[in-house]
Structure 1
Amino acid sequence: MSVLLGPILQFRGTAKNVYSLSALVVQPLGDPQPGVTPPSGVTASKPLALADIPLLAPKQRVWRVDFSIKQAKVATTYTVEIAGQQANFVVPPSGQSPRMAYVSCNGFSDPKDMEKVDRNNERWDDMWGAHQHQPYHLLLMGGDQIYSDEMRLTVPSMKAWFARSFAEREKAVYSKTIESELDSFFSRLYLERWKQPEVARMFSAIPTIMMWDDHDIIDGWGSYDEGLHGCPVFQGLFATAKRYFRIFQQQLIQPAPSQATPGDVHPCAIAGTADGFHLGFTGLGDLALLVPDLRSERAPDLTKPVFQKTRIISATSWTALYNWLDQLKNHRHLLVMSSIPVGYLDLQAAEKALDLVPGRQELEDDLRDHWRSLPHRDERKRLIMRLLDFASRQRCKVTLLSGDVHVAGACVIESKLTQHGVDGAGTIYQLISTGVVHPSPPALAVYFLETLGAGQEQIDYAITGTMLPLGARGRYLIAARNWLAIEPDEKDKSDKDRLWVNWHVEGSEHWVTQVIDPVKHVS
């Protein structure tokens, strides 16, 4: 019996102090069902077959095992064994907020980028060292867990398709050849990228929460014009990427291509959404976590007579997300994982300058994808207002976690409106950490971004967005690879709701720190 990938741990929520996890392993097709050895205090399910991959020409079988653990009064370390492979993880005490690590951009958009770094997975190694010193309980992965960009060169049918004119691409048929080659490509990509030792070691040590972004599908997915977005090949590509996202990142059953019935649903999926994988987690001590899917529903807004706007999330799903927020009670801090930063530089102001800068291609998808671009501004403003209203109404701090842009940074969104109060509810921090593997843009491009795009933004009347200087040099962007630690204040028992946020930056001996205080409660 052999294991080709895994165990990969995933967090599946808490209920009444029962901590739920799952673990994914991949074996050669034909191997016996993996044996499971849980320790005392851990209840394990029988292994569940998620899919045989590649889906159209199976060679491997993907398994999931579910675990449930009653949380103790102290942090507890557990070791489970699946098919002879161990996963070691720590469950936080009941009622305590977890220590978390956040990453994004786990790969390269261009093979040439690999020449810009000394060791591809150096930041993963750094995280492992920090985890050994004081364990993390959750690993939040905010997008681009894989990079599919190489399909343009390594998938013959897609290489030929990209060589055509736009008009020819839109008319092309999603042939059996394209479907089969993409199916094999995504199957191989997940196995190759995630079995790298530094990455695999972390996946077997910290339960993950993953949400995809464009490179998990194709660069800029959802921000192309209507003709290209809706063409057969692009839609077929998306369907294939979505199947593998379900299997590997959400650990959900993928029905065989011949079956019309859907697979299972994540236990923390938000009810009532139109499509996608919108997730909500509660009961993490005083923390709650909202993880919207910003890719599944991205599309040109066909309600407009002319292609002027695109949507990020459908109206139906926004309603479901806001309903989830309205029902969220008794939490002191809400973390929102938005793969693309809600608060960031003004990329519109920097765009013209970037036309003159070498290496600007690395930023093109951000220019058309980002929340501050003209097509998304109304949707963004509604999101900001709803989060501010929620924070004020529930006396709950809100913090945004994002990646995507290949630099680290921080922004503060502040409201001086009377209804949002002056005790912290009217302040939302935006924390950006990226990439854990992908290198930063050229220094000249980063300089232009900071120079032209870092002014204060007037989001609405009495609501502003301001980039924050980080580090000793007062720069707004950290142009080095990094990962983010999010740690409750365990030393000051009088204010355990305070979060210490530390960027672990490649090449730096010191962390870059942001402290986030909770909303003050008036007796």
Structure 2
Amino acid sequence: MNGDATTAPSGTQPAVLRTDPILFAQGGDEAGDRLRAIIVRPAGEAAPSVSTDAGKAETYELVSLFGRTVHACEFRLPSGTGGSYEVDGERFHVASPAHPDMRIAYVSCNGQEEGDLDRGIEERDVLWQRLADENLREPFSLLLQGGDQLYADDVLFCHPEVERWQSLPKKERGAVALTPQITEALRRFYFDRYLITYTRPAFASLAARIPSIMMWDDHDIMDGWGSHPAAMLDSPVGRALFTAAREMFLIFQLAVQPGKTPAIGLDETGTNLGIAVRYPGLSIIAPDLRSERRLERVMGDVGWKVLDQAFAQTPKGDRILVLSSVPALGPRLSFAEFIADLVPGSSEYEDDLRDQWQSRTHRDEWRRFLALLASWEESGNGQLTVVSGEIHLATRGEMRLQGGGVLHQLVASGISHPAPSPAYPWVLGLLARFGESPLKGRKIRILPLPNYKTTYAGERNYLTIDRRNQTWSAAWELEETGRTDPVSI
């Protein structure tokens, strides 16, 4: 069913006309697990027929753009057992997150900065296929996608004037005027790139069977978005680029109409797109670390209000999984930033360093974020685990809490991004040896995966989280090494 295509107007990439259903988790309670699905069909074609054992689900038009219609529907499946739904006669089985024995998969960094569409799909999607095969053997209940679902950096070449914009010094980009043609080229680029991404076979198999919870990061917009000068971000083309990326993020990662607040969203104004998804005994909180990001901040006042609200509304005793698109626990980066300031030619790395919580610029915000995480467990509210990506490596971290507890961080990054050069994990491992204690009395340690020889694993990877009779553990699937031993969390 998925991936029917015709020639795109640009002549450079087939235009995807239809997709299999893509499921999104909306939370659940005793009445059932709430699900939303989006399905793409050619404009003018009849809407897909969706049904469950409870009957036909109403389908409505989410948006119609560029000769295609994104249809959406909402339905419930039984809590604790799961069930199945049917689209145009094809049935898909779904496991419930409310079952005592439950599995979660986590992925991030689905692409590469240049030439992502030029790679052979078998090489590119090795781990996606491995994850899809694993799901058919032992189903996952949730698919957490923690950032860079879309490597959209090629957006800078979608129109000659956008290409000219990116070639100028960052502080001079306001000189390029915005035209309706540029706006449409930007919107079409993101729209088409999502459909190409979502119709790759392994991903399509997973997305139709596991409800996703997604939060964006920079590459879903462009590399380093927010960690560049305001003159670039606020230039007419820069704002149009962000607006187009946000529009398509709402459609394809939060499954809502642009201009509407998602049911799992916490900010009615839409300034910040942080979300919270809740099931009995489990809350997934995903702060939006991009919408308000600037050189001097990670989140603005709205983002912090949203995050504080997410914690305040979490039932006491819930296990919380926090999706922090960049790692919350990591090595001190001030020395690396100091070197980048001094060494000629290293300015290209400044936005990567500024992206991190540990940047010297964000140190007060980092402390605030860590204090919020630590206070949940230290106040006796329940246990919390941070899951992160972004760095194209796998590792784990611990922060010792007052009273003897431990806050765990699990980093899995690079589901399809190529493994970095060996020097990269070595340098990060060296920095991690110095340790870090941004909160008094709460030491942070970065630790290797079980039985792994280095602190950071330089292989493509994904993460699995298992709950067995209320006991939680995590393991990494590494491209070359295979499955690690589980870690208790």
User: How high is the TM-score relative to the length of structure 2?
Assistant: 0.90
Deviation at 1:330, TM superposition (A): 3.5
Q: Which amino acid aligns with 2:335?
A: A
CA deviations over 1:454-485 (Å, ceiling 9, x no partner):
32102122122111122324411010000000
Give the Å deviation of 1:316. Answer: 3.2
Are the structure 2 counterparts of residues 362 and 403 from structure 1 closer, same or farther at C-alpha, using a change threshold of 3 Å?
Answer: farther
C-alpha deviation, 1:214, in angstroms: 0.5
Shift of 1:313: 1.7
Paired letter, 1:119? E
Q: What SS is found at the alignment partner of 1:185?
A: helix
- SS of residue matched to 1:91: coil
Deviation readout 1:244-283 (Å, 9 max, x if unpaired): 00111111013xxxxxxx33x2222225676222111223
Match of 2:51 among 18, 34, 37: 37
Moved more, 402-411 or 82-91: 82-91
Q: Is the 8 A contact 1:272 1:320 kept in 2?
A: no
**1:174/1:232 contact within 8 Å kept:** yes
Task: Give the 5 Å matches for 1:36-435.
Answer: 36-38=50-52, 40=53, 42=54, 44-53=56-65, 58-72=66-80, 75-78=81-84, 80-93=85-98, 96=100, 98-111=102-115, 119-254=123-258, 262-263=259-260, 265-271=261-267, 275-283=271-279, 285-300=280-295, 310-350=296-336, 365-416=351-402, 421-422=403-404, 424=405, 427-435=406-414
Aligned AA for 1:454? R
SS in 2 for 1:394: coil
State the partner residue of 2:27: 13
Superposition deviation, residue 332 in structure 1: 4.0
Distance 1:116 1:64 in 2: 31
Q: Secondary structure at the match of 1:445?
A: helix
Give CA-to-partner distance per residue, 1:357-382, whole Å, 9 cap, x none.
9x999965431200000121111101
Q: 1:360 to 1:500 in 2, by over 3 A?
A: farther
C-alpha distance in 2 between matches for 1:375 and 1:335: 26
Does the CA-based 8 Å contact 2:97-2:142 persist in structure 1?
A: no
Letter in structure 2 aligned against 1:503: W
In the other structure, the counterpart of 1:306 is none
Long gaps (5+) in structure 1: 255-261, 301-309, 491-495, 517-523
Structure 2 residue runs without a partner (length 5+): 5-16
Specify whether residues 447 and 25 from structure 1 end up closer, same or farther in structure 2 by C-alpha distance, changes over 3 A only.
same
Q: Name the CA shift for 1:44/1:462 in 2 (closer, same or farther; >3 Å).
A: farther
Letter in 2 for 1:498: T
Output the CA distance in 2 between the equivalents of 1:50 and 1:178: 24
- Contact kept, 8 Å, 2:108 with 2:413, in 1: the verdict is yes
> Structure 1: how far apart are the matches of 2:137 and 2:282?
23
Counterpart secondary structure, 1:250: coil
Q: What is the CA–CA distance in structure 1 between the aligned matches of 2:178 and 2:321, rounded to whole Å? A: 39
Q: 1:235 to 1:447 in 2, by over 3 A?
A: same
Counterpart-to-counterpart distance in 2, 1:102 and 1:70: 23
The verdict on how the C-alpha distance between 1:508 and 1:63 changes in structure 2, with shifts beyond 3 A counting, is same
Task: Output the CA distance in 2 between the equivalents of 1:113 and 1:27.
Answer: 22
In 2, Cα distance between equivalents of 1:447 and 1:117: 29
Query: Residues 103 and 403 of structure 1 are in contact (CA less than 8 Å); yes or no, is this contact kept in structure 2?
Result: yes
Separation in 2 of the partners of 1:25 and 1:455? 49
Displacement of 1:151 in angstroms is 2.1
Q: How far apart, in 1, do the equivalents of 2:450 and 2:423 lie?
A: 19
Aligned residues: 474
What amino acid is the match of 2:277?
Answer: F
Which shows bigger deviation, 169-178 or 360-369? 360-369
1:504 aligns with 2:477: yes
Aligned residue in 1 for 2:39: 25
Superposition RMSD on alpha carbons, in Å? Answer: 2.7
Look up the SS of the partner of 1:119 in the other structure. helix
CA distance in 2, matches of 1:399, 1:184: 37
Q: Indicate how the Cα distance of structure 1 residues 112 and 238 shifts in structure 2: closer, same or farther if over 3 A, else same.
A: closer
| Inter-partner Cα distance in structure 2 for 1:275 and 1:314 | 9
Once the two structures are TM-superposed, the CA of residue 61 in structure 1 deviates from its matched residue by 0.4
Q: CA deviation at 1:44?
A: 4.8
- Deviation for aligned residue 1:236: 0.8
| SS of equivalent to 1:5 | coil
Output the CA distance in 2 between the equivalents of 1:370 and 1:199. 28
| 1:444 Cα deviation after fit | 1.6
When residues 116 and 369 of structure 1 are mapped into structure 2, their CA distance, relative to the original with a 3 A threshold, is farther
Check the 8 A contact 1:49/1:253 in 2, yes or no: no
**Number of the residue aligned with 1:449:** 428
> Which letter does structure 2 place at the counterpart of 1:45?
A
Kept in 2, the 8 Å contact 1:504–1:512? The answer is no
Do the aligned partners of residues 44 and 207 (structure 1) sit closer, same or farther apart at CA in structure 2, a change above 3 Å counting?
A: farther
